[in-house]
């Protein structure tokens, strides 16, 4: 017997929801939902290389280059590298944007899980932690 999956919220639906909720607030910062993790990760890992950023966020280097170029143009990030290797740092305005982006992402997540009980949130957190561990191990 075939089971219906209409009731399942998959990763694409969650991402679409999060993007829709975050977009208006991030736009005030000059950011889009796909750039928020980049500014937050650069703020968290000052001096990170473009390659390291790509690996950490699990995206290809070309995508990272495009997003970082926009962050550089906005004056939120600076490249203090010599030669071809990037060494990325947030500017003062970038630090404020990263802090705000982190709050926006947190608020969107809180809105997404608002109907869950504390026990369900705890279970979900444990499940996502295990999934994250699997992903990290596979990408080594």
In tens, the pLDDT along 96-119 reads 999 999 999 999 999 999 999 999
5 pLDDT exceeds 70?
no
Q: Please give the pLDDT value at position 83.
A: 74
Which run of H or of E encompasses 117? none
Whether the CB-CB separation of 39 and 78 falls below 8 Å is answered with: no
Q: Please give the pLDDT value at position 95.
A: 97
Which run of H or of E encompasses 19? helix 11-27
Query: Residues of the chain with pLDDT > 70: what percent?
Result: 94
pLDDT (tens digit, 9 = 90+) per residue, 57-102?
Answer: 999 999 999 999 999 999 999 999 777 777 999 999 999 999 999 9
The CATH label, of 1.20.1250.20, 3.40.50.80, 3.90.1150.10, 1.10.10.10, for the domain at 11-138 is 1.10.10.10
Q: 132: pLDDT confidence band, cut at 50, 70 and 90?
A: confident
Q: Give the predicted TM-score (pTM) of the model.
A: 0.84
Radius of gyration over alpha carbons of the chain, in Å? 17
Q: 1: pLDDT confidence band, cut at 50, 70 and 90?
A: very low
Domain positions in the chain are 11-138
């Amino acid at each position: 017997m075939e089971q219906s999956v209409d009731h399942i919220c998959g990763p694409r639906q969650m991402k679409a929801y999060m993007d829709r909720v975050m977009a208006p607030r991030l736009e005030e910062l000059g950011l889009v939902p796909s750039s928020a993790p980049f500014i937050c990760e650069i703020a968290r890992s000052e001096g990170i290389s473009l390659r390291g950023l790509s690996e950490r966020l699990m995206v290809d280097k070309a995508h990272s280059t495009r997003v970082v170029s926009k962050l550089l143009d906005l004056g939120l990030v600076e490249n203090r590298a010599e030669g071809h290797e990037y060494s990325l740092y947030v500017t003062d305005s970038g630090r404020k944007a990263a802090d705000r982006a982190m709050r926006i992402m947190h608020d969107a997540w809180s809105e997404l899980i608002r109907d869950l009980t504390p026990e369900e949130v705890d279970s979900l957190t444990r499940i996502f932690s295990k999934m994250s561990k699997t992903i990290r191990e596979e990408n080594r």
